[in-house]
Amino acid sequence: MASQLFAICFHAAQPSTLARFWGGVLGWNAIDGRGDDIEILPPRPDGLAGFRIRFLPSRVPKVGQNRAHFDLTSASPEAQRHTVARALELGGEHIDVGQRPEEGHVVLADPEGNEFCVIEAGNKFLADTGFIGALACDGTQEVGYFWSEALGWPLVWDQDQETAIQSPDGGTKITWGGPPVAPKTGTNKLFFELTLPAGTDGEAEVARLMSLGASRINSLEGDGSTVLLRDPDGNEFSVRTESR
């Protein structure tokens, strides 16, 4: 059985500040994580996102635009304005990443400069998702294929080297924009944390991911329960090889 997407993780200079911001924007609940990290979860166990968000204390610097950002959906123009106003109230800010005036989405950054978009109402591609419509990534077609196989999520878009996947249960899509892909500079601020279904052989799963195109970096914890890898585009991700 494939690994499961457990969390989208942020390297954060101030985890509590980012957790408060994103929890406030999304309406999610904060809980203590492992060690000094903080997690936020959807208010219902069946939340459409399908993952939690973790904020890990880190000195990883932000260099240029992140390779991934959230696209938040809007049910109406009023809802879009409300989301933008709420984000600004909580410490976000407007930023310019080259968007055109005629584009309907609003580009913002959280208190640590992580970009995200509030998408206009009526976006058909994100109609079947939820408030977090997509995690939009800068990446190749190859990496879209990799993550489809790694997570067992079907491709829901594959055109002009742009790809997107979505859980069979629905919810947030993960998208890759295709070329040109900006060169990777340093460690990503956002990364995936995967976990394994109970009874899965951790080393066998790591070997499967490597056969799909991942490369192993090292073990993060002394007991070897967390392994750090890179996907075919060089993006770091972790796999917890013990059951939870």
Predicted pLDDT of residue 182: 87
pLDDT value at position 46? 60
Which residues lie closer than 8 Å to 199 by C-beta, 6 or more apart? Answer: 243
Between the alpha carbon of residue 210 and those of residues 3, 146, 174, the distances in Å are: 13, 10, 21
Q: Is the pLDDT of residue 13 over 50?
A: yes
Return the minimum-mean-pLDDT range out of 63-72, 109-118, 122-131, 221-230: 221-230
What is the maximal distance between C-alpha atoms in the chain?
53
Q: Is the peptide bond before 232 cis (omega within 30 degrees of 0)?
A: no
Q: What is the pLDDT of residues 30-60, one digit of tens each?
A: 887 676 789 999 887 666 778 999 999 999 8
- Residue 9: name the closest of 56, 60, 67 by CA: 56
What is the pLDDT averaged over residues 15-38?
Answer: 89
pLDDT of 61 over the 50 cut: yes
Q: How confident is the model at residue 219 (pLDDT cuts 50, 70, 90)?
A: low
pTM of the model: 0.93
pLDDT surpasses 90 at 223: no
Instruction: Give the pLDDT of residue 104.
Output: 86
Nearest to 217 by CA among 143, 209, 139, 49: 209
Q: Over 60: is that where the pLDDT of 224 sits?
A: no
| Residues 136/71, Cβ–Cβ less than 8 Å | yes
Lowest mean pLDDT among 110-119, 132-141, 186-195, 211-220: 211-220
47 token code pair? 């939340």
Sheet containing strand 115-118, edge to edge, reads: 93-94, 106-109, 115-118, 68-72, 132-137, 173-176, 162-166, 155-159
Average pLDDT over residues 222-233: 83
pLDDT tens across 123-138, in order? 999 998 999 999 999 9
Residue 137 phi, psi dihedral angles, 5° rounding: -120, 150
Confidence bin at 244 (pLDDT 50/70/90) = very low
Coil/strand/helix, residue 11:
strand
Residue 122 pLDDT exceeds 50: yes
Q: Which amino acid, residue 173?
A: K
Q: Which residues contact 163 (CB under 8 A, 6 or more apart)?
A: 141, 144, 145, 148, 155, 157, 175, 176, 178
Average model confidence (pLDDT) across the chain: 91
**C-alpha distances out from residue 72 to 75, 85, 173, Å:** 10, 13, 11
